[in-house]
A and B are shown apart, each in its own frame.
Chain A
C-alpha cells in the first residue's frame, strides 16, 4: 500500500502529524517533492482558472501523485479551532480534486479537525481503513502523531540580522519557497531576518479582539492580522511583509483590516500568482528594504511623504 501525501496548502501546518500518523500505519508514504515548475504547469492546467495559486499548486501535487500511489491524503479542513473557520475552498477541496482530475485513486474525505481530538480520531480511523490498517493500529498511531504534533513548534524568529521583518500570510505562501520565490532568502541577503506569526504568543494575538466590531469567524484574522497588529503596535519589527495570493478572498479582507490597524507603519504586500516574475518581486523587496534602512537612519517613525505608499 502506497499512500500519497501532497506537499501543499496546510501540509505546511500539519506535516508532523500527517507524516507521523502515516508512518505509524506502516504504509509506504510517497511525499511529493518541493513545488517545481512541472507541478505548477500541471496544476494550472487541471484546476479551474479562477482559483488561487496555492489551490492550483495543490492540484499539481495531486496530479503528480495520481499514478504513483493507492491512496491520497487530502485533508478537508472545515474549522481550525472551535467556530473559527477557513476558506471554503478547503472545505470543498476533495470535491474540487475529484472533479478536476480524472482517474484519481481513493482520497480521504472526512473533515480533518485537529482542534478536536475526538473528531480527528474518526478521521484517522477512516484513513486507516482506507489504507487497510486495523482500527487499533490507527488509534495507536493517532495518539503518537498527536503527541508529536503538540510538541512541534513551527515558526521562524531570526534575530541574527540587523533588520527584522514580520512575515505575514498563510502558511502555504510563507513556507512554499517556489510560490514566494524564496523571499526569506532575499530578505536575508539584504540583512533582514524574519519573524512569523507562529512565534508570537497566542495571548498577544488575541489583543486584536478588543479592536474588532464583531467576533471574526476566520482563524486567520486572529493569527495573521493579530500578529501583524501586535508587531506593529509594539515596534517589534522594522516593517511587515504580507505574502498574499492573487484572488485570495480571505486576504482581501485581512490586508485591509491590517492596513486600518497599523496606520503608517511600513508594510509591503506581495501578490503571488502563477505569472509572478522574480525580478519584479526582487525590485519591490529591495525598494522596501531601502525604505526601512532610510527610516532607521533618519531616526523618524513617520514617512516623509506623510502616507505609506507600499501598501498595495
Chain B
C-alpha cells in the first residue's frame, strides 16, 4: 500500500559534513570523557550500563550534566544520531571569539527563517553555531527589542556558549561570560584587531515556500501513481488543450465576446458575437497543443470572465447607439431590444 507522498518531494535534505569533533561511534565514549550534548550542555560520561526495558536489553551510555548533575541516558546505538560532540578545542574557541568580535550588521529579518535557522544551529552547529545565534540575536536586539521566544532562545544559546567556553578555557562560567561580553560589547575606545572570522556553519536546506495551489495540485496528480496505471498525464493534458485554447482565445477579447455571447439571444449583438466563435473553430482546427500553463490560465481566467458578465449596465449603454441605428433601418429589431432592456433591471433587482 502506498503511503502519503512526501511533503516536500523535491526538497531532499542535503547531507552536510558533521561539525568538528562530532562523535559518530559510541566506542569513543570512555568513562570520564567530556562531551557536549546538543541543547543540554557539557556532560561527563559516567559509564555504559545495561538495562532491561520492556523486555529488551539495552546498552545505555550514562552521562552526568556538569551544570546541575542531571543524569542523561542514551542508547548506545543512538549515539551517532543525537549529535554528541567533543568539547570545543582551543582553535575553535579562538574562532568563536573572532566571530563575536567581527562587525556584523546584517541580521536575518524574517523571523520565521531566523528562528528556524537558529534552532538548527543550536542543535547541529557546534560551538560556532552557538556563537552565531548569540551574535545574530544580539545584533538584532540593537535594532529592535527581541520577541519573547527569541529572547528565550538568546538566553539558552548564551547559557550553552558560556558553559562550553568556560569548560574549554578552564575558567568559571562567570569569567567566561565576561570574556564573551567584552568581545561582544567592547567598552568605548576598545577595538580588536582580529583575523577574519571562520566561515559560518552550513545548515541543511529547508523548503522555501509553499507553491501556489495550482502547481501543488499538479504535483499531487503526479504522485497519484497514474503513470503506473498506464495513464499518461501529458496525453490527458493534450486532450484537454483545445478546450483550454478556446477559452484562452476568448480571454483575449474578453468582456465583449462574452457579453456578445449572452446577448446573442437578444439578436442585436448576435453578429458581433460571431467572430469569437470563429476563433474557437480555428483553434480547434489548428489543434496546436498549448503549453501546460494555458490550462492554468484558463482555469484562473474563469472568475475574471464572470465578472464582466455580471455588469448589468454596461451592455445597455453600448446597445443604445446600435438600437438607434437599427431602429431606423429595420423595425424587426425593435422587439428584440425590449427583452434586453427588461433583462437589465432584473439583474439589478437580483443584485439588490
Query: Do they bind each other?
Result: no
Interface residues of A (CB under 8 A from B): none
